[in-house]
Structure 1
Amino acid sequence: MTPQKPDPATPHRPDTARRSEKSRRAIHEAALALVGEVGYPRTTIEGIAARAGVGKQTIYRWWSSKADVLLEAFLELSAQAAREAGAEPYVIPDTGDLATDIKAVLRATVDQLHDPRFEVPSRALAAEGVVNEQVGRQFTAALMEPAIQLYVDRLRSAQQAGQVRPEVDPRIALEFFISPLAQRWLQYTGPISYEYTDTLVDYALYGLAPRD
């Protein structure tokens, strides 16, 4: 069957799915940019809408609050950063070598923390989470807990393989990797580098005592 040519008299129908996705991306970018520039308290739905070039009602159609907008924007940004690094979002590899796997994930985290797209808004949100308990809990539950669970699952897998002592609590053990990195990044107490995170993993897994 020969395909028919479009009738010039027929009005062009806009692709609403494409338009909606374009608006969603613009809203994400506007929300992250604003919270980095003016902080969380001064970021408003009205400001996000104006920055994104959409109506306020468009935002309320998809999200109930600015926190919901920022949560989704951050999750998408993190997934995008992982894809750009050639990794699967929300996955810790299991090659059978725990040290290698954790080092790879922390190196990707270093890259993310140095990326201005992520660093600027995440610092603003981290600061707000310290003084605003509700915001802190909301962002921890949505952004931190899923990542923490990945570490827990990987450490449990290592326990089953006999690479970690069976009595070790993975939830506590993962703090050896995450907490020092977060503290150094938030408080500017030292440089964030691959060498630093590799050393964290070595110290955590192999301890400080002399080895034979």
Structure 2
Amino acid sequence: MALPRSGPVRSEHARRAILQATATLLAERGYDHLTIEGIAAAAGVGKQTIYRWWSSKGDIIAECLLEGMVVPGRGELPDTGDIRADLTRWLRDLADMLARDEGELLLRSLIAAAAEHVEVGRRLRDVLAGPESLSGRLERATGTVPNLPRGAPVEEIAEALIGALLLRALSRSPLQPADIDRLLRAVLG
């Protein structure tokens, strides 16, 4: 005979509604104006439901990052067989997104969340440059022509590209196509 489950049952429907509400509100209002009360109202749940599963809005954002709900496409590169062409297209797409008001707001919100919550920063790094995304794609491109040589420092390449993109976005100096070409020449050789 099975014993009854103790503690609250986590509803997948409520969890998805909370994550979707968080991602939507973050994109619309930014991190500073994101509240647990607002998330609860938008998701149609009580605040106590949210606090039962997450301790802060930063924790919810971290889960949204892992679910691919905050950074569209999880920063994935195309895979045409030519890493330089793929990186060029990917960086141009990201630069275009960050040049729009909603992209800039999303970036500032993610940076604020990462500054406040270590786990958000770690997850953001993994989503943008980690082994499941950019550095993993770079690793798969090593050892083939016209791609990267075997043993290329893929994590460092990933971090350099993301770092350059973020610095330009933070300084509100958009990356132009010629800038992207020079950046790739500097990083990839």
- Work out whether the TM-score is over 0.5: yes
Give 1:61 deviation, angstroms.
5.1
- Give yes or no for the alignment of 1:146 onto 2:131: no
Deviations 1:50-83 (A, max 9, x none): 566642134335534211222344531323xx4x
Identity %: 30
Equivalent pair of 1:181/1:197 in contact (CA under 8 Å): no
Q: Which residue of 1 aligns with 2:84?
A: 99
Q: Which residue of 2 aligns with 1:161?
A: 144
Size of the alignment, in residue pairs? 174
Q: Which residue of 1 aligns with 2:58?
A: 67
Q: Which residue of 2 aligns with 1:175?
A: 159
Equivalent pair of 1:155/1:170 in contact (CA under 8 Å): yes
Equivalent-residue separation in structure 1 for 2:140 and 2:19 (angstroms)? 38
Q: Which residue of 1 aligns with 2:99?
A: 114
Equivalent-residue separation in structure 1 for 2:22 and 2:64 (angstroms)? 8
- In structure 2, stretches of 5+ residues that fail to align are 1-10
Equivalent pair of 2:22/2:61 in contact (CA under 8 Å): no
Q: Aligned in 2, Cα 1:155/1:24: closer, same or farther, shift over 3 Å? A: closer
Amino acid at match of 2:110: L
Quote the RMSD (CA, aligned, Å). Answer: 3.2
Equivalent-residue separation in structure 1 for 2:187 and 2:16 (angstroms)? 43
- In structure 1, stretches of 5+ residues that fail to align are 1-15, 83-88, 207-212
Which of 77, 80, 94 in structure 1 is aligned with 2:70? 77
Equivalent-residue separation in structure 2 for 1:32 and 1:68 (angstroms)? 16
Q: Which residue of 2 aligns with 1:25?
A: 20
- Give yes or no for the alignment of 1:187 onto 2:187: no
Equivalent pair of 1:23/1:52 in contact (CA under 8 Å): yes
Q: Which residue of 2 aligns with 1:11?
A: none
Q: Which structure has the greater CA radius of gyration?
A: 1
Give 1:102 deviation, angstroms.
0.9
Deviations 1:28-47 (A, max 9, x none): 323444444xx2xx744234
Normalising by structure 1, we get a TM-score of: 0.64
